[in-house]
Structure 1
Amino acid sequence: MATIDDVVKQAKRARRKSAKRKNSPQSSEEIISDINYSTTKVINVDNETLTKNRVIAQNKEDPRSTPFHMLRTKVLRELRDNDWNSIAISAPTPGAGKSLVTVNLAMSIAMETNQTVLIVDMDLRKPSIHKYFSFEPEYGVQDYIENNASVEDVMINPGIERLVVMPGRMRTLNSAEQLASPKLKALTEELKNKYKSRVIIYDLPPLLVSDDVMVFLPNVDCSLLVVESGVNTKEEIESSIGMLDQKPLLGTVLNKEIEQKKIYVY
């Protein structure tokens, strides 16, 4: 049976937790708009280009955007409930569509007026985030690690309010060593602590092709697994989930589902 002291301690912990959530900028209703990207390069990407590249979350008239908004709601709820702001996205094998899910999820989150988003391309072996916005970066994450480029040099705003991208620029063969470097750890800490209203989404390599994800995972709060329907086997999915057990797994996203379910548009 709990003593009076135990009950008092539990009540104090509950109040602190409640106050922490209430005061968290992530749960604030303050509208974040008219951001001045004075130190961030701006590249205006038109909606036609985005749609051509299968980035559709920003178009509410497209019924394909609905699953991304549903995913956004579930992800943000978990982040806010746990006072988290960084998430890693990976897949068991190449071709599952993890990067496309990353971009569309980020676009959906950026549509919330009280939230900013940063996509960081940590797939150092095969960076691809910039391709969805149709630009070739002058600097990439690798330049920050190897060539002393600043964070401001690497960051790009694709003309979308509340969304910033840190792209990759070139293929890196010693990616695991770079992901384990003190400089990269310092970068993740800086990004995490600089803006509490910012959600940081890291696009990571596939789990079953290297040890990159396991090396980098301690730097994030949680993870999300993208599974390719009809391709990834039960064994691959189970192995991937086991490799992600260092941090909480928010769930899995089934991508490339052949059976199209009817979506009602209200």
Structure 2
Amino acid sequence: MRDKLLSENNLSIIEKAASTFGAGKNISATTVEEIVPEAKTASIKGLNNVSGLKTKRLPLDFARLRHYGIITPEDKKTTITEQFRVIKRPLLMSAFGPNPIKNGNLIMITSSLAGEGKSFCAVNLAMSIAMEMDNTVLLVDADVSRPMIPKILGLEENKGLLDLLLNDKLSVPEVLIKTSIEKLSVLTAGTQHPNANELLASQSMGLLLKEIVKRYEDRIIIVDSPPLLLTSEARVLANQMGQIVLVVEAGETSQQTVRETLRQIESCEVVNLIYNKARSFSDKDLYVTYEPY
């Protein structure tokens, strides 16, 4: 049975509501919404040598990202930046604190079902951590059948995770995309494949994760995975993670569904909960509110 490390003085209304799920050691919750409209993808410009290999560099459009509720380095004290500051603290402590857990820097962002906003939360969490003075981030799009990170960030489709799994001569630095945020790099899902989900549960995936953790032991690795109740491969992937963040859509996902999901990931030492709900927003701002479950 996991202990709940919750401070009543620091919990918001929504965090107290989230605690009713019994989600694990670290429970944090926020209310955000995945909003990815049709938009032209940004072109990738420039090359940068990393370990003798060329790594693509992507200039991020901060104005576009802010328009759709994504945290940027120019956002100092908005509601959403403050929410993700709260969410990332226990994750960073488990990864690099006085008593770090095994593979604590390997963090899976997932949900029970599709459409709960996990990819949006994954990107915002990555952006928030990348704004830290002492932390760098690798954002991995492992939702290989429905990759959303390129649409959110404005990336073109490129070689990525699936290509690494299918071609052992390809190396991580060759497909890694460095962004105009110095401490944020992205590994996209890569070239689509009919057995994409099966590849997530393959031995090659396990070996690749070990390689990434070893190569980038000094950075946070955020993995946006498929929903846990929709693919068995996602559950196999979860067993290899140090920490899991479960995104729950407020007012839509039942407590029974969440409890079933939590049973699927009992082997993970640290499970966090994001309670995800946002009301409507204007053309310029994303309005975020706390609401009890």
The residue identity in structure 1 corresponding to 2:115 is: G
Whose Rg is larger? 1
Is the Cα–Cα contact under 8 Å of residues 122 and 168 in structure 1 kept in the other structure? yes
The verdict on how the C-alpha distance between 1:37 and 1:256 changes in structure 2, with shifts beyond 3 A counting, is: farther
Identity of aligned residues (%): 31
Q: Which residue of structure 1 lines up, in the alignment, with residue 57 of structure 2?
A: 42
* Relative contact order higher in (CA < 8 Å, ≥ 6 apart): 2
- 1:57-106 Cα shifts (integer Å, max 9, x gaps): 53124322110111111211122232421111110111111011111111
The structure with more helix, counted as a fraction of residues: 1
- Deviation of residue 241 (structure 1)? 0.5
The residue identity in structure 2 corresponding to 1:48 is: A
- 1:175-228 Cα shifts (integer Å, max 9, x gaps): 342112222222111110113211111110011111121111232212110000
Whether 1:65 aligns to 2:81 is yes
Alignment counterpart, residue 146 of structure 2, candidates 95, 113, 126: 126
- Deviation of residue 110 (structure 1)? 0.9
Q: Which residue of structure 2 lines up, in the alignment, with residue 98 of structure 1?
A: 118
**Distance in 2, Cα, partners of 1:206 & 1:57:** 26
Is the Cα–Cα contact under 8 Å of residues 124 and 170 in structure 1 kept in the other structure? no
Q: Which residue of structure 1 lines up, in the alignment, with residue 162 of structure 2?
A: 142
The residue identity in structure 2 corresponding to 1:208 is: L
1:187 is paired with a residue whose SS is helix
**Distance in 2, Cα, partners of 1:237 & 1:121:** 23
TM-score (norm. length: structure 2): 0.72
The verdict on how the C-alpha distance between 1:48 and 1:110 changes in structure 2, with shifts beyond 3 A counting, is: same
Can you give the 5+ residue segments of structure 2 that lack an aligned partner in the other structure?
A: 1-47, 280-287
Whether 1:82 aligns to 2:97 is no
1:215 is paired with a residue whose SS is helix
Alignment counterpart, residue 228 of structure 1, candidates 241, 249, 259: 249
**Distance in 1, Cα, partners of 2:163 & 2:217:** 26
**Distance in 2, Cα, partners of 1:77 & 1:249:** 11
Q: Which residue of structure 1 lines up, in the alignment, with residue 14 of structure 2?
A: none
2:234 is paired with a residue whose SS is helix
For 1:160-179, list aligned pairs within 5 A.
160-179=181-200
Q: Which residue of structure 1 lines up, in the alignment, with residue 19 of structure 2?
A: none
For 1:106-117, list aligned pairs within 5 A.
106-117=126-137
Whether 1:152 aligns to 2:176 is no
Moved more, 159-168 or 216-225: 216-225
Q: Which residue of structure 1 lines up, in the alignment, with residue 29 of structure 2?
A: none
Q: Which residue of structure 2 lines up, in the alignment, with residue 30 of structure 1?
A: none
Is the Cα–Cα contact under 8 Å of residues 158 and 191 in structure 2 kept in the other structure? no
**Distance in 2, Cα, partners of 1:54 & 1:257:** 11
Moved more, 43-52 or 224-233: 43-52
2:229 is paired with a residue whose SS is helix
**Distance in 1, Cα, partners of 2:165 & 2:266:** 27
Is the Cα–Cα contact under 8 Å of residues 89 and 204 in structure 1 kept in the other structure? yes
Moved more, 173-182 or 70-79: 173-182
- Across the aligned residues of Structure 1 and Structure 2, the Cα RMSD in angstroms comes to 2.0
Can you give the 5+ residue segments of structure 1 that lack an aligned partner in the other structure?
A: 1-35
